[in-house]
A and B are shown apart, each in its own frame.
Chain A
Amino acid sequence: MAKSNKPIVWGPFAAGGTLTAFLTPVLIVLTLLAGFGHVPDLLGYEALRAFAAHGVVKMGLVVVVFLSLWSAAHRLRITCYDLGLRADTLVATLVYALAIAGTVAAAIALLRLTPA
């Protein structure tokens, strides 16, 4: 029987696409406000640290980072193919590896974060 790994890579892409559609614009507004010097309360050191040190929040953040990076990686892979880059296995390996590396980096940073 022919096996396909399509659902495995496509599932997180669809989930991530939905999540980034709902959440990413407003999160960028928060960092953009901080960029303009109007730092939202949550992005103050004490507040953000207390927030992100919570176990449930840590898990949520890792999920958000993973799904965002994975859906971006998947889309980039398909776009490379559409633009005529036919080395799909190489491209797929690179972009998915980057997504996983970013997720691992986020998890490590969060593990180092202890409640004050």
Chain B
Amino acid sequence: MSRKPYVREMTSEWITRHPRYLRYLLREFSCLFIGGWTLMMVWGLARLAQGPAAWAAFLETLQSPASIVLQALALAFAVYHAVTWFNLTPKALPVQLGDEFVADGVISGAHFAVWGLLSLVVLLLAGAF
């Protein structure tokens, strides 16, 4: 390509310009924790396939202070991701009944209710109590 397209310079200065930019970035950083935790689970599956001793060692790794801190952080970020995601559902999935649109709170509220119920069912089925 012989032409030289103009590329506007971009810095990360915008982050601190407004609190909502910071919250946006915080939401986006949830991907590091969700992705990291998922990779840890893949590692766990590999250990499970290696037998009881390997699985026991994996469970022990979960108990190290560093892993507890990371998992607590991951939980906080995962919940933040879920809350922001469900709050956006009325924008992504507007529902029209007749001439009227269903109120935003009903759509996101339904998602929050299903989320709570599903989490409870998973905890019960997994024998967490």
Interface majority SS (helix, strand, loop, mixed), chain A: helix
Closest to A84 in B: B10
A52 touches B128 (CB 8 A): no
**A-B contact count, CB below 8 Å?**
154
Chain A residues closer than 8 Å to B74, beta-carbon distance:
28
Q: Kindly supply a per-residue 1/0 record for chain B positions 25-69, scoring 1 wherever the CB is within 8 Å of any chain A CB and 0 otherwise.
A: 100111110110111111001101100100110010011000110
A45 touches B31 (CB 8 A): no
A35 touches B71 (CB 8 A): yes
Whether A26 touches B38, Cβ cut-off 8 Å, given contacts A21-B85, A32-B75, A45-B56, is no
Closest to B45 in A: A109
A34 touches B122 (CB 8 A): no
Interface majority SS (helix, strand, loop, mixed), chain B: helix
A69 touches B49 (CB 8 A): no
B67 touches A35 (CB 8 A): yes
Complex CA distance for A40 and B119, rounded to whole angstroms: 14
CB distance from B48 to the nearest CB of A (A): 6
Interface size on B, residues (CB 8 A): 52
Chain A residues closer than 8 Å to B39, beta-carbon distance:
69, 102
Chain A residues closer than 8 Å to B12, beta-carbon distance:
82-84
Complex CA distance for A33 and B122, rounded to whole angstroms: 13
Whether A18 touches B122, Cβ cut-off 8 Å, given contacts A37-B63, A72-B35, is no
B interface residues, Cβ below 8 angstroms from A: 7, 10-12, 15, 25, 28-32, 34-35, 37-42, 45-46, 48-49, 52, 55-56, 59, 62-63, 67-68, 71-72, 74-75, 78-79, 81-82, 85-86, 92, 114-115, 118-119, 122-123, 125-128
A42 touches B126 (CB 8 A): yes
Supplied contacts A31-B40, A32-B75, A71-B31, 4 more A-B pairs, CB within 8 Å: A35-B67, A39-B59, A73-B35, A113-B48
Q: Kindly supply a per-residue 1/0 record for chain A positions 4-41, scoring 1 wherever the CB is within 8 Å of any chain B CB and 0 otherwise.
A: 00000000001001101111111111111111110111
B82 touches A25 (CB 8 A): yes
Whether A35 touches B128, Cβ cut-off 8 Å, given contacts A21-B82, A29-B75, is no
